[in-house]
């Protein structure tokens, strides 16, 4: 292995060896890696060097290490951008996976004080409300709760969201010109945990989004993701401008 990759440091050779087998599918998610002792013997290097390689792979999210048990290939965590309104259905289908949306509520409500504040309207004003669960290969990956300004999207409640999910419908029909994203680490409520098929003690990523058109608030959305199944990230150009695609 050293002769094949002379330009790499010893620990990097171990990382490259493991990463290549993960990348080409030789070692799928959940596969148990060779032990530290086996890697030491295979590469003819110190245990400290092997440990550094495994530690960095764990920090990068490529493997999971369980004390006293061993190291395993980590499950892939799809990443969604923070720089635009992501179409979760398209993201999932682009990975070659099955997507499904379960609508849990589509209704008209009187805006509570906090909803009214976020949408810049009076408390008690009529507002549209929807809740849906996004599934990837029948595994819940996002619980979405959305409040919509009826003055901007009057036909919202009449849509077939089983065919076109709420976010996709709004992106197609409302010309957003401002988007605000805030991400928090939270614990789910018991009800949320049940819907997401997770333990209430497991952490979630909560993405809160507001959108405007011509300075008029359109939506206030809260998207809850199990942290073990999803990640959120961004990429910027060197000049500070966002890079899409």
Per-residue model confidence as pLDDT tens digits over 169-228: 998 888 888 888 888 889 999 999 999 999 999 999 898 999 999 889 999 999 999 987
Is 0.85 surpassed by the pTM of this model? Answer: no
Hey, which of 64-68, 107-111, 121-125, 232-236 has the most confident mean pLDDT? Answer: 107-111
The whole-angstrom distance between residue 77's C-alpha and the CA centroid of its chain comes to 7
Task: Average the pLDDT over 91-113 and give the result.
Answer: 90
pLDDT reported for residue 8: 62
The whole-angstrom distance between residue 40's C-alpha and the CA centroid of its chain comes to 36
Task: Average the pLDDT over 120-145 and give the result.
Answer: 93
Asked whether the predicted pLDDT for residue 114 surpasses 50, the reply is yes
Task: Give percent of the chain with pLDDT exceeding 90.
Answer: 44
pLDDT reported for residue 134: 92
Domains in the chain (CATH in brackets) are 7-73 (1.10.10.10), 79-233 (3.40.1410.10)
Per-residue model confidence as pLDDT tens digits over 3-24: 443 446 888 889 889 988 887 8
Asked whether the predicted pLDDT for residue 52 surpasses 80, the reply is yes
Which string of b and e fits 34-55 if b means at least 16 CB within 10 Å?
bebeebbeebebeeebbbbbbe
């Amino acid at each position: 292995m050293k002769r094949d990759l002379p330009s790499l440091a010893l620990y990097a050779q171990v990382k490259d060896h493991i990463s290549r087998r993960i990348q080409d599918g030789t070692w799928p998610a959940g596969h148990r890696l060779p032990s530290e002792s086996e890697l030491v013997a295979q590469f003819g290097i110190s245990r400290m060097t092997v440990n550094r390689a495994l530690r960095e792979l764990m920090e990068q999210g490529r493997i999971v290490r369980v004390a006293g048990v061993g190291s395993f290939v980590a499950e892939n965590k799809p990443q969604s951008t923070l720089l635009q309104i992501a179409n979760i259905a398209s993201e999932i289908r682009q990975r070659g996976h099955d997507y499904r949306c379960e609508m849990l509520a589509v209704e008209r409500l009187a805006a509570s004080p906090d909803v009214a504040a976020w949408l810049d309207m009076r408390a008690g004003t009529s507002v549209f409300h929807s809740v849906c669960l996004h599934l990837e290969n029948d595994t819940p990956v996002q619980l979405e709760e959305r409040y919509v300004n009826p003055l901007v999207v009057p036909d919202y409640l009449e849509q077939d969201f089983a065919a076109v999910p709420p976010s996709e419908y709004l992106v197609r029909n409302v010309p957003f010109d401002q988007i605000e994203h805030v991400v928090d680490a939270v614990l789910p409520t018991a009800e949320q945990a049940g819907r997401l098929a997770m333990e209430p003690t497991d952490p979630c990523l909560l993405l809160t989004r507001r959108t405007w058109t011509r300075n008029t608030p359109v939506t206030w959305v809260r998207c809850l993701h199990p942290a073990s199944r999803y990640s959120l990230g961004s990429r910027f150009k060197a000049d500070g401008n966002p890079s899409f695609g």
